[in-house]
Amino acid sequence: MEWAAARNVSSKLVEELLAHGCRYFYEGPEHSDAELISGAIDQLVARQGERISQVSYLLHAHTQPFSMPAPPSSVLTELVQRYRLSPKLCFSVEHLACAGVVVAVDRAARLLAADSEARYALVVTSDRVFGNHKHRIRQNAGIQSDGGTAILLSKEDVRCRLGAISYRNFGDLHEGPSNPRTTALIARYTWLHTKLAFEQNSRATGIPLPEYGQLMPVNADRHYWVQIANALNLPESAFFLDNIRERGHACTNDFAVNLVDRGFPLLDQGKPIASCGQSNVGAYAIVTLLPRSDKPWAEPSAHPSE
């Protein structure tokens, strides 16, 4: 409330944000993307030790185009130098918005599975807001946060397992809300495409949606997730909506943030979860995470820095 008042945000907009479940967010404009990510990697180093130095694949996912610094700077180069990594391959996943982190996890897992010598892959995410409060307030149903995360994938001693990963991609919407036509299509159909993506993933995994511990959305647009729950004949509580209030929307970072805050506790109880990455550029992705078992595979262990 004090933040909004200091920036002359209208009381009407504040009331609408509160009504949509928004309250807290993280503002860290003084940090670079590499610094935000490093805060998360440092937590992994503290717990995983030498594993970080053995990372064979390094992937960076982001939503905002300005989360990649201008050349000659490079987020990936900074991280490689800071942690003395020697990856076989490193690259960024972009222009898939919040679906990008799921794609990055999938690509990293596939690279690990195809490489008998590789043991670990690291997926990092970062997104920040540039500009004044008008760029941080997401219409009237979300507040943008700044953040970075690090997700370690391993073939052994995992926290959980990857289940099915499902995609829906619509090339006609690739330009995003840059013209009246695509803006109208996105507003009309995003909820439907997200609903269908959850159903597709449920079929691929063989787990009915009511049997999931919880479904992980992105941390904005509470009314929208309630609409999807209704369309899926699920209670509102089927979606983990707490972080819309507690964390704000940090774009690609929401995946790991929600995994740490809610997903891991559910997985530790033996319950599967499904995380959603969706977008306003026609990309949708759902990943099911399963409780760990004795089966070796490439699974994530995540820590957020937000």
pLDDT in tens, 17-51: 877 777 888 887 778 889 999 999 999 999 888 89
What pTM, to 2 d.p., does this model score? Answer: 0.91
pLDDT band at residue 81 under the 50/70/90 scheme: very high
What are 149's strand-pairing partners? 125, 304
The CA distance from 161 to 272, in Å, is: 9
Q: Mean per-residue pLDDT for 235-255?
A: 95
Q: In this structure, what CATH number is given to the domain that contains residue 212? A: 3.40.47.10
pLDDT tens figures, 126-141: 988 876 777 788 777 7
Query: Percent of the chain scored above 90 by pLDDT?
Result: 59
71 or 79: which carries more pLDDT confidence? 79
Shared domain check, 181 and 143: no
Give the number of other Cβ atoms within 10 Å of residue 168's Cβ. 17
Shared domain check, 256 and 200: yes
Shared domain check, 254 and 165: yes
Contact 196, 209 (CB under 8 A): no
What domain count does the chain have?
Answer: 2
Which of 154, 184, 213 is a domain's end point? 154
The CA distance from 277 to 96, in Å, is: 9
Shared domain check, 140 and 26: yes
Shared domain check, 172 and 140: no
- Say how many CA atoms lie within 13 Å of 64 toward its Cβ: 23
Q: Mean per-residue pLDDT for 176-204?
A: 90
| Host domain of residue 106 | 2-154
Q: Mean per-residue pLDDT for 214-235?
A: 95
> 304 lies in a domain?
no
> 228 lies in a domain?
yes
157 or 257: which carries more pLDDT confidence? 257
pLDDT at 299: 46
Which of 122, 139, 154 is a domain's end point? 154
Shared domain check, 184 and 133: no
Q: Which residues contact 71 (CB under 8 A, 6 or more apart)?
A: none
pLDDT at 239 over 90: yes
> 305 lies in a domain?
no
What are 151's strand-pairing partners? 123, 302
